[in-house]
Amino acid sequence: MNFDLLIRNGVVAFPWGEVAADVGVQGGIIAAIGTNLGNAEQIFDAAHLTVLPGIIDPHVHFRDGGLGGIKGVEDMASGTLGAVLGGVTSVFDMPNTEPAATSAETVARKHDYISGQAYCDVGIYVGGTKENIVELAALEVMPGVCGIKIFAGSSTGNLMVEDDEHIGMIMRAGRRRISFHSEDEYRLQARKSRFSCGDPYASHAQWRDVECAYLGTRRITALARKTGRPAHILHVSTAEEFAFLRDHKALMSVEVLLNHLVQSAPDTYDRLGPYGVMNPPVRDERHRLAAWAAVADGTVDTLASDHAPHAAAAKERPWPDCASGMTGVQTLLPMMLEQVAQGNLSLSRLTSLMADGPARVYGAVNKGRIAAGYDADFSIVDLRARRRIEKSWIASQCGWTPFEGVVCTGWPVATIVRGQMVMRDGAVAGAPTGRPVLFRS
């Protein structure tokens, strides 16, 4: 057989383990897996390299609803450029963009904008609001839509549905799994007056405390059970929530962020100040270790970066006016490969969290695993390469990373999206060829 692309001599990370095999690609699809497969237009010699399924970052904020993003912060092109440089082949973009993705018009605009702007494939979250409840059942099945996202607690932007009545109405208005930013808005507001402007940045985790997140998650889980609607709790950050959610897996699925696996208080606030501030906050070691335990026992379904770029000037304001969120789409895979090198998880658990898991939870069609008939998305990595994360490498327009200076063992050397070599040896060549992700809806 004559393939478009043949990836030869590599070790392929299948869901069932790592096996030496060649992969033949035809028309953007995995056409054959084995040895002595034949010839190809393009041969990629993956000797000494590991071929991972295309890594999916299911939680990014690229700020761009189709009108060009925010200058100096991010747009679709710069965000997805960072993704492919970091070995990510698909991202799911949150709805708090400019304009917000909350209507048929704004969702269609983002969908049409992706082709021509994006370097990787993109899924679109629809923002649920109190105003668009009647439209949600139709919006959640629009092309490219990965699901509905509800901000149950306030964060960046003004999308919020804080009360049980409206959350319940949203849960009754449709079928697909809904993703939640789970912090209890009432508790957030009630505790705000205990703190003052200019308090240490570490106050962020005292204000947005464990009970804020845990109470939010208990409320959402109760509503999921009442309505029978599956829900996905984004960025679970407390030991209490992990312990609770593992008893509710029939309806609930769980996302963990890299940040909550590798960063903890007080160290992160001491070293990064405002650059360590995010929602939900980085917490102390007890919670970080609980997050790892939840990775180990299968409670966690997906891993994400929550890439949330902000201009340096917005980050550097005194607390609590400093912008919340850290960049991360580009550093997600190298940082996780370092965790594999340190022995904190296996490569197969990494791919289950970063490829198979997101594809399963959101219903992405033909993504998430290396299998015949699936999209030819690959993140090819050198598990032995040792590289330092440099600020100069970061493609995000805001130009900073909380992981500057971290040395990673394991580094992405090629990113292939539907058979197209988008990144090779740190260089991105050619026009953007990303497309909206297809979802089972």
Question: CB-wise, 159 or 337, nearer to ligand DOR?
Answer: 159
The CA-based angle 384-388-391, given to 5 degrees, is 145
Whole-number minimum distance, CB 145 to ligand DOR, in Å?
19
Question: CB-wise, 87 or 325, nearer to Zn ion?
Answer: 325
Question: CB-wise, 73 or 107, nearer to ligand DOR?
Answer: 73
Whether the CB-CB separation of 294 and 256 falls below 8 Å is answered with: yes
Task: List the alpha helices (DSSP H) in 228-326.
Answer: 239-245, 258-262, 267-272, 285-296, 312-315
Coil, strand or helix: which one is 389? coil
Coil, strand or helix: which one is 285? helix
308 contacts ligand DOR (rule: CB under 6 A): yes
Question: CB-wise, 114 or 278, nearer to ligand DOR?
Answer: 278
Partner interacting with residue 327 (select from ligand DOR, Zn ion, none; CB below 5-8 Å by kind): none
Region 49-68 residues binding ligand DOR, contact defined as CB under 6 A: 61
- Which residue has its beta carbon closest to ligand DOR? 325
Return the residue of 78, 102, 106, 155 that touches ligand DOR, per CB under 6 A.
155
Question: CB-wise, 97 or 366, nearer to ligand DOR?
Answer: 97
Q: Which of the residues 64, 184, 301, 306 is marked catalytic?
A: 306
CA-closest candidate to residue 262, choices 155, 181, 345 = 345
Whether the CB-CB separation of 29 and 374 falls below 8 Å is answered with: yes
> 163-192 mask for ligand DOR (x: CB under 6 A)?
------------------x-----------
Whether the CB-CB separation of 396 and 78 falls below 8 Å is answered with: yes
Whole-number minimum distance, CB 394 to Zn ion, in Å?
18
Return the residue of 80, 96, 366, 420 that touches ligand DOR, per CB under 6 A.
96
DSSP assignment string, 185-240: HHHHHHHGGGS-TT--TTHHHHHS-HHHHHHHHHHHHHHHHHHT--EEE-S---HH
Question: CB-wise, 327 or 366, nearer to ligand DOR?
Answer: 327
Residue 306: active-site member? yes
Q: Mark the segment that binds Zn ion (CB under 5 A) among 67-75, 80-88, 208-216, 305-313.
A: 305-313
324 contacts ligand DOR (rule: CB under 6 A): yes
Is cis: bond before 99, omega within 30 of 0? Answer: yes
Sign of CA dihedral 400, 403, 408, 411: negative
Is cis: bond before 432, omega within 30 of 0? Answer: no
- Alpha-carbon distance of 51 to 157, in angstroms, equals 38
Length of the chain: 441
Partner interacting with residue 401 (select from ligand DOR, Zn ion, none; CB below 5-8 Å by kind): none
Beta strand 2-14 with 39-45: parallel, antiparallel or unpaired? parallel
Number of residues that bind ligand DOR (CB under 6 A): 10
Q: Mark the segment that binds Zn ion (CB under 5 A) among 169-177, 242-250, 304-312, 330-338.
A: 304-312
Return the residue of 127, 325, 402, 432 that touches ligand DOR, per CB under 6 A.
325
Return the residue of 140, 184, 255, 306 that touches Zn ion, per CB under 5 A.
306
Partner interacting with residue 299 (select from Zn ion, ligand DOR, none; CB below 5-8 Å by kind): none
CA-closest candidate to residue 378, choices 74, 96, 6 = 6
Which spans of this chain sit near Zn ion (rule: CB under 5 A)? 306
Catalytic residues: 306
By CB under 6 A, name the binding residues for ligand DOR: 61, 96, 155-156, 181, 278-279, 308, 324-325
